[in-house]
Structure 1
Amino acid sequence: MSGPSAGLPDPAVLPAPLAGLPVAQVGILVPDLAAGVATWSALLGKDDWLIYTYGPDTVPHLAYRGEPGRFRMRVALAGSAPQVELIESLEGPSIYTEWISEHGYGLHHLGFRVPSAEKTIREVTASGVALLQSGSGYGQGGDGGFAYFDTQDSVGLIVEAIEVPKRRRPSEPLPRGRR
């Protein structure tokens, strides 16, 4: 079974620049990253997680609802096609704290890889879809970007455009519980 009847987004409801792209990432909000990694490692049979903390000190350009962003989050990435991303919100306000307040923890977004987050932001917002949160410059060369769009009414969750940096910073150690 596929399509809307299976709870999957219909490509026709995605913003045009993302329609037809494969889902590259499934984003899941967790209350504690270390516990989330333990649970999802057992579920996926994987333990090769990459860990990153993102915030004003590691992402030069952050925005939240059209204002400068001051949020921080820690993420764990594993696998591909699609990649699983676990997100622990460390400071808000952010789309993560909003979602947790309204929906609780669990599935948050679907991510799509794009060549340029900036170009995708221009195209998606020009089509009338609101930009909720974004960040850029987190790669070692100052590249890399992400942008979350408000597709809750059409898709049932948020969608993210991801411009993967050419070189990521080294992975951090997995934290031992919530900090």
Structure 2
Amino acid sequence: MGTLRTSFLGSIAEVCIVSGDHKKTMDGLLRLGIGPFQVFDFTPTTVPQRFFRGQTGSFELKVCFARHGDLTFEIMQPTGGESLMAEYLDQRRGKEGVQHIAFDCNNVPMKERKREMRERGFEPAMEGVWKGKKGSCNFCFFDTEASTGTIFESIDFSEDWEDPECEWYPHPPTSDASYGAEKAVRQR
């Protein structure tokens, strides 16, 4: 394997809970003081490029984000197709929990992140391109579970990214200065 940089992953940007009921999970996190949440639908319209285990993917997800200090909490609920999130719930008989963590990989381009992860023996397991009002976000989940006990994700927002329209739950924040799907990655 040679000598690998130990600082490659950078900082943790996001912790994701996979849920069969995103509203129930949001309500639980709200009781803990985490929220409000931006709620998005990942569908063929919003994520036109989707790949699952090396093939064209069909996954659809409800995706919710809440900022909490420098960390983003994410909730993902599978709503259709094959996904790592659906597999997680199936394997755990519907029990929700922390399924992946996302790293900023020191904001290097996604192509370099994939190359580095492959050199370490981890292939992309699920990936896609999410469309914003402007720009795009490349996300890639790596097949790290057998070695680490969880999935590692990396997220790369384009410089011109603007969040797409979303639903706020339970309401929009009083100030949107600290919100935005890309803030966790960009503010590091």
Q: TM-score normalized by structure 1?
A: 0.80
- Percent sequence identity is 25
**Residue of structure 2 in register with 1:7 after alignment:** none
Give yes or no for the alignment of 1:118 onto 2:111: yes
Aligned residues: 160
* 1:29 matched residue in structure 2: 18
Code of the residue aligned with 1:123 in structure 2: it is: E
Whole-angstrom CA distance in 1 between matches of 2:84 and 2:100: 11
Return the structure number with greater strand share.
2
Counterpart Cα distance in 1 of 2:7 and 2:165 = 29
> Displacement of 1:67 after TM fit?
0.6
Whether the 8 Å CA contact 1:17–1:124 is kept in 2: the answer is no
Q: Does the 8 A contact of 2:9 with 2:104 survive in 1? A: no
Structure 2: gaps (5+ residues)? 171-188
**Alignment match, 1:38:** 27
Partner of 1:138: 131
Distance 1:69-1:117 versus aligned 2 partners, 3 A rule: same
The corresponding residue for 1:101 is 90
Q: Which amino acid letter does the alignment assign opposite residue 62 of structure 2?
A: R
Contact 1:149 1:159 in 2 (8 A): yes
Name the CA shift for 1:52/1:17 in 2 (closer, same or farther; >3 Å): farther
- For residue 34 of structure 1, report the CA deviation from its aligned partner: 1.2
Q: CA deviation at 1:122?
A: 3.0
In the alignment, the residues of structure 2 paired with residue 117 and residue 100 of structure 1 have an alpha-carbon distance, to the nearest angstrom, of 28
The 1-side partners of 2:124 and 2:152 are apart by 10
Structure 1 segments (4+ residues) deviating >3 Å: 15-20
The Cα RMSD (Å) is 2.2
Shift of 1:139: 2.2
Measured at CA, do residues 17 and 143 of structure 1 come closer, stay the same or move farther in structure 2, by a change above 3 Å? farther
The equivalent of 2:145 in structure 1 is 152
CA contact (8 A) 2:129 2:138 kept: yes
Instruction: Report if the CA contact (8 A) 2:127-2:141 is conserved.
Output: yes
Q: Which residue of 2 aligns with 1:10?
A: none
Distance 1:24 1:98 in 2: 23
Q: Secondary structure at the match of 1:93?
A: coil
The offset of 1:75, in angstroms, is 1.1
